[in-house]
């Protein structure tokens, strides 16, 4: 795109949150969803954020952040678990497409977290590849329990923090971009009841930005 504006991580974060506020308030503007935007983005994409969210059908990214075509590079897995394909997708969005913001989006009443809690508590787990999902959420549940946290909200927050840490730990590209201020990684917790996305953790964002957004 010729008119693409490169946003700072703080600007990208503010843009994302403003869309969520519109959604929460029931006043969405549905930006960038028309044929003009389709034509504008046809030559190339320049998304301002990459979103790694849970696949839960109630977390439709462009709806809850009130965005449109070419805005968000979205990667979703059950329980926002991370594997090689997820890491590669995030790295591509940051290093090739120039996304300044990486968002990990978890939510309350997450089935993947609930299943991992059951597996830890009762030893009951799933078969097939669902088991793989549960096993990747289990370290977060164990960490929360070790810290004396047992509420659903605490478990969700721990899993979001764990996923942010994992991305930065595994991806050298992302860690370097964040350390040099070209990218930031934030963890948000989405509330199904009111549609709000609350900040859980942030890496690489200026402190005043976090206060502004939280």
Question: How many other C-beta atoms are found inside a 10 Å radius of the C-beta of residue 127?
Answer: 6
Site of tokens 């968000």 = 72
Among 51-59, 86-94, 186-194, 195-203, which window interacts with Zn ion (CB under 5 A)? Answer: 51-59
What span, in angstroms and rounded, lies between the C-alpha atoms of 197 and 25? 13
Q: How many CA atoms lie within 13 A of 40 on its CB side?
A: 15
Q: Does 87 bind Zn ion (CB under 5 A)?
A: no
Q: Does 133 bind Zn ion (CB under 5 A)?
A: no
What span, in angstroms and rounded, lies between the C-alpha atoms of 93 and 73? 7
Site of tokens 């050298």 = 172
Question: How many other C-beta atoms are found inside a 10 Å radius of the C-beta of residue 84?
Answer: 8
Minimum distance from CB of 138 to Zn ion (Å)?
15
99 annotated ligand binder: no
80 annotated ligand binder: no
What span, in angstroms and rounded, lies between the C-alpha atoms of 211 and 202? 11
Q: Does 62 bind Zn ion (CB under 5 A)?
A: no
Among 24-32, 41-49, 50-58, 122-130, which window interacts with Zn ion (CB under 5 A)? Answer: 50-58
Site of tokens 């290093």 = 95
Minimum distance from CB of 54 to Zn ion (Å)?
3
Q: Name which position in 16, 19, 47, 56 contacts Zn ion (CB under 5 A).
A: 56
Q: Which is nearer to Zn ion, 69 or 157 (CB)?
A: 157
Q: Which is nearer to Zn ion, 54 or 168 (CB)?
A: 54
Q: Does 110 bind Zn ion (CB under 5 A)?
A: yes
User: Per-residue DSSP letters for 55-98?
Assistant: --TT--HHHHTT--TTTEEEEEEGGG---HHHHHHHHIIIIIS-
Minimum distance from CB of 114 to Zn ion (Å)?
9
Minimum distance from CB of 47 to Zn ion (Å)?
22
Q: Which is nearer to Zn ion, 56 or 62 (CB)?
A: 56
What span, in angstroms and rounded, lies between the C-alpha atoms of 49 and 43? 19
71 annotated ligand binder: no
Q: Name which position in 10, 54, 105, 156 contacts Zn ion (CB under 5 A).
A: 54
How are strands ordered across the β-sheet holding 101-107? 72-77, 49-54, 101-107, 184-190, 197-203
Q: Binding site residues for Zn(2+), as ranges?
A: 54, 56, 107, 110
Q: Which residues bind Zn ion (CB under 5 A)?
A: 54, 56, 110
């Amino acid at each position: 795109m010729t008119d693409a504006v490169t946003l700072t991580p703080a600007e990208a974060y503010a843009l994302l949150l403003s869309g969520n506020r519109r959604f929460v308030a029931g006043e969405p503007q549905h930006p960038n969803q028309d044929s003009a935007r389709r034509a504008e983005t046809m030559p190339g994409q320049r998304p301002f954020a990459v979103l790694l969210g849970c696949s839960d059908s109630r977390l439709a990214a462009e709806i809850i952040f009130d965005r449109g075509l070419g805005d968000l590079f979205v990667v979703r897995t059950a329980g926002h678990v991370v594997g090689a394909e997820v890491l590669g997708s995030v790295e591509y969005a940051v290093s090739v497409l120039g996304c300044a913001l990486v968002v990990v989006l978890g939510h309350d009443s997450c089935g993947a977290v609930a299943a991992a809690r059951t597996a830890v508590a009762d030893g009951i787990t799933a078969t097939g590849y669902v088991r793989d999902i549960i096993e990747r959420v289990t370290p977060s549940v164990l960490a929360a329990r070790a810290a004396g946290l047992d509420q659903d909200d605490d478990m969700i927050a721990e899993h979001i923090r764990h996923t942010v840490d994992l991305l930065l730990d595994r991806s050298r590209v992302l860690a370097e971009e964040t350390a040099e201020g070209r990218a930031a990684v934030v963890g948000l917790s989405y509330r199904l009841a009111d549609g709000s996305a609350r900040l859980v953790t942030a890496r690489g964002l200026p402190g005043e930005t976090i206060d502004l957004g939280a």
